[in-house]
Chains A and B, each alone.
Chain A
Amino acid sequence: MGPWSAVLLYTQHGEQCLAHRAAWKLLSGVREGQTQVDTPQVGDMAYWSHPIDLHFATKGLQGWPRLHLQVWSQDSFGRCQLAGYGFCHVPSSPGTHQLDCPTWRPLGSWREQLARAFVGGGPQLLHGDAIYSGADRYRLHTAAGGTVHLELGLLLRHFDRYGVEC
């Protein structure tokens, strides 16, 4: 989690969900989940240490899995609001990877910003596709929402059999 220039008492919890496409078949593990809520007491870094354990089988390269993240923040009243959307692809080479996934959130009109500042909540996307489709995303007014740091260990099997060099 990147630095948070936000209210002092700031807690986050995130959500992972993995793209699944026709070619990829989930063998085990949960496709989506939620981390615990961490209250960073030292510094702005929130640590989740949330394990993701997934096993896929694929029949093709299309639809390579990616991680969709939604960071939510919880305020001192225990209410949750969106703090950022983000997604990143799972790397294609085996081994341990350190990924940084920047996140953003829609800014909304000034009225909404004002409401967000005082009563919480905030604008959310009605259609999640815009998070990763990106063709029209530039129209959105967004605010940066920190960076999610991921450490992924990857094992690939039999990819070389089909001529995929990793």
Chain B
Amino acid sequence: MVSEKSHLGDQQEPGHEDPNADARPLSMPTRRGPRSLPPIPSASRTGFAEFSMRERMREKLQAARSKAESALLQEIPTPRPRRLRSPSEKELETEFGTEPGGKIQTTQQEDDSQSYSRVKFRDSVRKIKSKTPDEEELLDDKDAVDFLLGLDRGAEDIVAVRPADYESVHIRLQKEKELLFIPSRRTVPTYKKLPENVQPRFLEDEGLYIGARLEVPRTNQNIMENRLLMQEPGRRWFGDDGRILALPNPIKPFPSRPLVLSQEQDIKAELETLYKKAVKYVHRSQHMIGSGDPPGNFQLDIDISGLIFTHHPCFSREHVLAAKLAQLYDQYLARRQRNKAKFLTDKLQALRNAVQMSLNPAKTPKSLDTTRRAINEYKSEIRQTRKLRDIEQEKDRTLLKTIIKVWKEMKSLREFQRFTNTPLKLVLRKEKVDQKADEEAYEAEVQAEISELLEEHREEYEQRMDEYRSAHQQWKAWKKAQRTKKKKKKQGVEEHPDDEMEEPYPGEDPVKPVPPEPTNQAVIEQEVRERAAQSRRRPGEPMLVPELSLAGSVTPNDQCPRVEVLRREDVKRRSVYLKVLFNDKEVSRTNSRPLGADFRVHFGQIFNLQIVNWPESLTLQVYETVGHSGTTLLAEVFLPIPETTVVTGRAPLEEVEFSSNQHVTLDHEGVGSGVPFSFEADGSNQLTLMTSGKVSNSVSWAIGENGIPLIPPLSQQNIGFRSALKRADAISSIGTSGLTDMKKLAKWAAESKLDPNDPNNAPLMQLILVATSGESYVPDFFRLEQLQQEFNFVSDEELNRSKRFRLLRLRSQEVPEFRNYKQIPVYDREIMEKVFQDYEKRLRDRNVIETKDHIDTHRAIVAKYLQQVRESVINRFLIAKHHFLLADLIVEEEVPNISILGLRLFKLAEQKRPLRPRRKGRKKVTAQNLSDGDIKLLVNIIRAYDIPVRKPITSKFQQPPRSSRTFSEKQAASPTTHSPTHSADYPLSQVLVRPFVEVSFQRTICHTTTADGPNPSWNEELELPFRAPNGNYSTTSLQSVKDDVFINIFDEVLYDVLEDDRERASGIHTRIERHWLGCVKIPFSTIYFQAKIDGTFKIDTPPVLLGYSKEQSVVAERGFDPVRSLSEGSYITLFITMEPQLVPGESVREKFDSQEDEKLLQATEKFQAECALKFPNRQCLTTVIDISGKTVFITRYLKPLNPPQELLNAYPNNPQATAELVARYVSLIPFLPDTVSFAGICDLWSTSDQFLDLLAGDEEEHAVLLCNYFLSLGKKAWLMMGNAIPEGPTAYVLTREQSHYLIWNPCSGHFYGQFDTFCPLKSVGCLIGPDNIWFNIQRHDSPLRINFDITKPKLWKSFFSRSLPYPGLSSVQPEELIYQRTDKAAAAELQDRIEKILKEKIMDWRPRHLTRWNRYCTSTLRHFLPLLERSQGEDVEDDHRAELLKQLGDYRFSGFPLHMPYSELKPLIEAVYSTGVHNIDVPNVEFALAVYIHPYPKNVLSVWIYVASLIRNR
């Protein structure tokens, strides 16, 4: 600004004198305003003032304008056109236009040292600034002055306007020059920087290291140097070289973080990223069945190149010799290659030299002691080596001899038989040797040996001598002592008569030692020479080199004798092939190749085995075919599984030998195999050869496309560790794999005096050398935890020994024994050792089949198998159980919507009707927060019908035997068949029966009060506590509770036992006895799944109840007859439930894979959904899971299958009887519910053959089998799914007879008419036939009320219809069932064993009483049981009773036969126990027990147990 003003002044001053020059600077800030806006005429001002002001202004303006014009004209030649332009444009114009002129002006003024550009800039700025004001004056001055005059007129006197202070540039620069120092940019001469008279030194040139200096621009350096010189003349800033002292450049030459772009090239493998697409979330399949490791695709290449027989039955004698010769020659070649004798000779030489060296004391400055020791060692080694060498040489020689001998034999044989069979030819090549040198060497060797031996002997002699001397000394001493002793003895025989006894070793006088004989040199020499002659080549003898060739010619067939021709033909007929067995399964086989005349077979085939798992075994089987008559297995060759390092291309061909033990005799020239033959004419010197040979093969791992060997991961190698360790290490090349400790290896090598020169040891020595040579050895591996061992707190063993840890781990692994184990003790000492016993035992006998519990071996095997299936299934599902859905974890109450709220509100307004109670749903309890004692089983026993009544024993039996009832009778039995006349037998006053009910569950027993009569009514509620196994109330564990609820009905009998009649008046003495009448068994699982059980059940009464009979008359008098008399048994009405109600577990939500058509599966889902929509409570089944866990369409299970022929033959003319028999057969197969075996998991359906093999199954299997039998009998039969009591959802079989339908219970073998009220089946869901499924869409589902006509589509909705025709599904069932006859002897044996065991058990249950067995009765019973079986437990009662009465007239007898299918022993014992026969404690009671087993085909056994107690009547 200052300079601007000065310019303005400079330029304008000469032009004109400005009257308002003082006002001009003030106008400057307001310049912009007036320019854009026209001057506003001020209304407030006076007219005069305004006028005068304007006038004056105008004048001034004009004057100024003319002045300015003239000024402009002076400067610029063409001012004219510019006047019309706008001022801003003018500004720009002037700026550019005036520049050159101004520049010249100002450059003249500026003469300081500043740079040209700066001058230019400053100059131009100045120019602009200087120009603009005087141009704008034209416009502005008028307004500005206008203002000023208007405002400041009065203030003129007070304010003095002065120009701003200004100092001219020159002055200022001068002033600055005094104050400022501007360092020069010129280079500073070196002398200025260094102390005087000092030459600069360059350290770098002198060879000292100087880091690279930081690069600084030269000018900057100069400036700095100049400044430093000026500022601090002390000169400590400069180094010896005259430069500023500086640290080396700290900047690294390359950036430590590379640029983004360079990343692409050298990316490290571990940092590689892969772009992965966003994936849909699927449940991880690791919990699913069957997926573990991804099934890899691995490949094993087996190259079978050929086969050579070393012996074959078709070998002729010549062949035998040829094979022998070839073998010997091979051996010879191998030996020659190794050349052990030569090597040992060399070694011996070396050792001798070493001894010589160490014997020379001048050369060995070591101490004498060490040398002596070394020499001794050497000597012993020399001895060893010599021995070895001798042996080797001898071997070589004998081998050579044998070869020649065999060859000679062969030649003679060829001559003898006058033909040649083999092209073998042996040529012995003689290699000349220099006789003299050879002799010398030989002699030298012998001499050396002699001297060594001499020395040896001398040493030995000396040693012996020493021994002898010491022995002699001892002997002398002993002699002396002996002598003195004798003297003593003579002296004091009288005093010490027992001295003789004390004499220590009277018989063992030390023998006088014999001095050893000195060695005889001649003898030794003799020995050595003999040995040399024997084992070594004689000097001068030529070296023999045998050479075997195939150059000989074979005699053609026409020149051979007949036997030989026959042999050759036989050979031609034979061919050989190999089977490749992988893990004992045949995977491929080679082509069949004819056997060549040389007994070699070339295959040259490579098999690529695509495998999934690590191979367990690899076997080749050699098969031979003779002509067209079958093949024989010659031998098996086991191939080793290759190391992981052996890959295709690198595997060498190996020869694996095999041999066979077959015996073959041939009627031609062939020598046969396993048969003695002889080369001699007289048959002596017999020889027996077995077929043997070699397979040359190689096994290796294939290499994949990308060069990765296709080897299964090591984790799969269950054979383990051993082969995993065998990786490519140097040591494995010598066969000792798995060694890693180099130091130990080196130590071992040193200790065992491994010969470093032995070529066999070369790789090992190399390794040791490398390993032990010091720090230079860098291992090419990295150990992750180097100091693990050192820092361990405890050893692995100790950690593994901890019982607590083990228990914790087992529990978390959910091992069955420890699953749900609660609260593991904190201290090890609190854990008992026996906790593990069961588990360990189980582990041990996993594969041992225990036959103790299962008397029958077949069943033991089945039980074991079932156990395994169960375990694997349970394990599979345990894992699946860990999958949770949202609903499992979060219970979310539904937000009430308006309709629900409305309903609730409506309910509030409802009338209260206290007399009409409403049913309230019980609260369901989830299993988590339950403990022992929380759950109770409530059993409500309401009433019973038709309990058998006592029969007076005294009354004579006179009931006529009833005719055996026919089927039709059963069907529509009229009440009139039972005449009411029987009632006459019983006096009305007598109590018929006093029944009570005992409920036992988990060995807790409750019983009701005693009621009277055959139709008692108890109406009592019994409460039984429930304990879950292990106190675990989870659904899984509850589902697997196997306990049954036994409901036993007893008769309470009072006996008067008062002995003395006289006391009868004063006392009563009776004994209460109870007699078992029948039982109802309900499994807990049914109660658990059904939540409640309500209904009338048939009491399982024994077919014969001695002392009781069915009381018909009373019934007849009441009004129930039409219903009652239809059925035979007794009934009880029960209501069972649990308090609180438990939530039954859901079956596992898991989709099983299936081989069914996808369309079919979709159709099933649709069908099921439709059915469930209409009738949610009816069971609808379309697909089931088979035993291997696959979904199968249900109709595939139904197919006519043949029942055992034995059953069909029983009643050839009575189809109904046959049907009953078949049903009985099916019912005899033991029942095992799936829900128990596969706790809460699912129903597994096994096919009928599996079912018969397992001999266990639940309703479905029974029903399927029965249905299949009926189909094969030509009946119309369907599988009927529905609900029954007490089973719950179950399967029955429906058959159609001529006019009616029959419902069969497959598990009991009973059948019911459609309108039978006591039919346990209460509802029908669907019917399944072999080709369709029909779902019940009628209003009712009770079998009583529905129509079974499946042809009516309004009543039955069929799965396959016109829109979806039946595709003709093949059955999963076998073509035919094959039945083995059951071994009768085994059954009889089993029968005896069961009887024995049961008797023992009964005695065990009566620990306080004596148990007597009535043999007579037992034998009677035993006779009776087969009768029962024959009649299936019907209608024999009366005969039997009569017989019993006849035989045991004076006994009070109570007993009954039990009948059950045989599965194992435990249920039998349990059943006997539950009858309580053993509970009788009358002093003179006797027992009888008989067992009968009736065998049915396929090991189905029907067991009858007759238990009875007898009390003698007095």
Contacts and interface: CB of A to CB of B under 8 A. Distances in A.
B105 to A, nearest CB: 59
B808 A78 contact: no
A80 B279 contact: yes
A139 B281 contact: no
Contacts of B785: 21-23, 62-63
B792 A60 contact: yes
Contact of B273 (A28, A125, A133): A125
A42 interface: no
Contact of B270 (A26, A112, A136): A136
Given A27-B808, A28-B809, A106 B273 contact: yes
A141 B263 contact: yes
Contacts of A82: 276
A85 to B, nearest CB: 11
A59 B808 contact: no
Contacts of B812: 27-29, 55
A61 B791 contact: yes
B788 A139 contact: no
A77 B274 CA distance: 22
Nearest to B268: A136
A120 B1314 CA distance: 65
Nearest to A127: B270
Nearest to B269: A127
Interface string B228-269: 000000000000000000000000000001101001000111
A123 interface: yes
Contact of A130 (B260, B270, B809): B270
Interface stretch (B332-340, B793-801, B953-961): B793-801
B272 A25 contact: no
Interface in B893-940: none
Nearest to B266: A139
A129 to B, nearest CB: 5
Contacts of B277: 119-121
Interface string A32-64: 001001000000000000000001011111110
Contacts of B263: 139, 141
Interface centre among A27, A34, A140 (most CB of B within 10 A): A27
Given A121-B278, A123-B275, A139-B258, A25 B805 contact: yes
Contacts of B787: 62
Contact of B793 (A22, A58, A133, A137): A58
Interface residues of A, number: 49
Contacts of A140: 271, 273
B261 to A, nearest CB: 10
B360 interface: no
A86 B788 CA distance: 26
Contacts of B799: 25, 57, 59
Task: Please tell me the size bucket of the interface on B.
Answer: 35 or more
Interface in B796-840: 796, 798-799, 802, 805, 808-809, 811-812
A22 B280 CA distance: 36
Contacts of B270: 125-127, 129-130, 133, 136
A161 B235 CA distance: 68
A145 to B, nearest CB: 14
Nearest to B787: A62
Interface in B338-363: none
Interface in A136-164: 136-141, 162
A60 B281 CA distance: 39
Contacts of A129: 270
Contacts of A120: 277-278
B278 A79 contact: yes
Contacts of B257: 138
Interface string B859-878: 00000000000000000000
Given A23-B792, A141-B263, A124 B274 contact: yes
Given A125-B271, A133-B270, A141-B260, A59 B811 contact: no
Interface string B1248-1272: 0000000000000000000000000
Nearest to B790: A60
Given A125-B273, A126-B272, A136-B268, A57 B802 contact: yes
Given A130-B270, A133-B270, A122 B275 contact: yes
B861 to A, nearest CB: 36
A125 B268 CA distance: 11
A125 B795 contact: no
Interface centre among B275, B795, B811 (most CB of A within 10 A): B275
A127 B280 contact: no
A70 interface: no
Contact of A60 (B267, B793, B805): B793
A9 interface: no
Interface in A98-132: 106, 108, 112, 115, 119-127, 129-130
A23 B794 CA distance: 10
A27 B794 contact: no
A79 to B, nearest CB: 4
Given A60-B788, A141-B263, A108 B281 contact: no
B1281 to A, nearest CB: 38
A70 to B, nearest CB: 12
Nearest to B258: A139
B272 A79 contact: no
Interface in B704-725: none
Contacts of B809: 25-28
Interface centre among B271, B284, B798 (most CB of A within 10 A): B271
A98 to B, nearest CB: 25
A12 interface: no
A137 B271 contact: yes
A164 B274 CA distance: 43
B275 A59 contact: no
B278 A75 contact: yes
Nearest to B274: A126
A79 B954 CA distance: 89
B1163 to A, nearest CB: 28
A60 B791 contact: yes
A23 B271 contact: no
A106 B276 CA distance: 12
A41 B277 CA distance: 26
Contact of A127 (B272, B796, B808): B272
A139 B272 contact: no
Nearest to A140: B271
Contacts of A139: 258, 263, 267-268, 271
Contacts of A26: 809
Contacts of A126: 269-270, 272-274
Nearest to A63: B785
Given A123-B274, A126-B273, A59 B795 contact: yes
A79 B808 contact: no
A82 B277 CA distance: 10
Interface string B753-796: 00000000000000000000000000000000101100111111
A74 interface: yes
Contacts of B796: 59
20 contacts: A23-B792, A25-B799, A27-B809, A57-B802, A59-B799, A60-B792, A61-B791, A62-B787, A78-B280, A79-B278, A79-B279, A81-B278, A119-B278, A121-B279, A125-B270, A125-B274, A126-B274, A127-B271, A130-B271, A136-B271
Closest 5 CB pairs of A and B: A120-B278, A28-B812, A79-B278, A123-B273, A121-B277
Given A78-B280, A112-B275, 18 more contacts: A21-B785, A57-B805, A59-B795, A59-B796, A79-B278, A80-B280, A121-B275, A121-B278, A122-B275, A124-B273, A125-B274, A126-B273, A127-B270, A127-B271, A136-B271, A137-B271, A139-B258, A139-B263
